[in-house]
Amino acid sequence: MTAPRLTAWAVDGIPEVHPGDDLVALVGDALADEGIEHGDIVAVTSKIVSKAEGRVVAATDREDAITAETVRLVASRVHPNGVTRIVENRLGLVMAAAGVDASNVAEGTVLLLPEDPDATARTLASALRTRFGVEVGVVISDTAGRPWRDGQTDIAIGAAGIRVLDDLRGSTDAHGRRLDVTAPAVADEIAAVADLVKGKASGRPVAVVRGLGHLVGPVDLPGARALVRTGENDMFRMGTAEAIALGRRLERESRDADTE
Q: Interaction with its own copies in 84-113: which residues (CB under 8 A)? A: 86, 93-94, 102-107
Distance in Å, CB of 1 to its own copies, minimum: 6
Distance in Å, CB of 133 to its own copies, minimum: 25
Neighbours of 203 (CB within 10 A): 12
The contact mask relative to its own copies for 197-236 (x = CB under 8 A, - = no) is xxxxxxxx------xx-------------xxxxx---xxx
Q: 128 in helix, strand or coil?
A: helix
Measure the CA–CA gap between 4 and 100, rounded to whole angstroms: 36
CB 151 within 8 A of CB 143: no
The smaller minimum CB distance to its own copies, of residues 6 and 32, is found at: 6
Contact residue for its own copies among 66, 121, 193, 216 (CB under 8 A)? 193
Alpha carbon of residue 171 to chain centroid: 28
Bridge-based pairing state of the strands 82-89 and 206-210: unpaired
Contact residue for its own copies among 64, 182, 218, 220 (CB under 8 A)? 182
123-162 positions binding its own copies, by CB under 8 A: 143, 146-155
Which residue, 70, 66, 11, 45, is CA-closest to 142? 45
35-94 positions binding its own copies, by CB under 8 A: 75, 77, 86, 93-94
Distance in Å, CB of 37 to its own copies, minimum: 15
Instruction: Give the CA distances from residue 86 to residues 83, 95, 117, 237, 244, in Å, rounded to whole numbers and listed in that order.
Output: 10, 5, 20, 11, 17
Distance in Å, CB of 28 to its own copies, minimum: 19
Distance in Å, CB of 212 to its own copies, minimum: 6
Selected range binding its own copies among 24-32, 63-71, 122-130, 249-257, rule: CB under 8 A: 249-257
Contact residue for its own copies among 18, 38, 72, 248 (CB under 8 A)? 248
CB 224 within 8 A of CB 157: yes
Q: What is the signed CA dihedral for 114, 116, 117, 119, rounded to 10 degrees?
A: -140
Q: Is 32 in the site for its own copies (CB under 8 A)?
A: no
Selected range binding its own copies among 27-35, 48-56, 114-122, 187-195, rule: CB under 8 A: 187-195
Distance in Å, CB of 130 to its own copies, minimum: 27
Q: What is the signed CA dihedral for 219, 221, 223, 229, rounded to 10 degrees?
A: 180
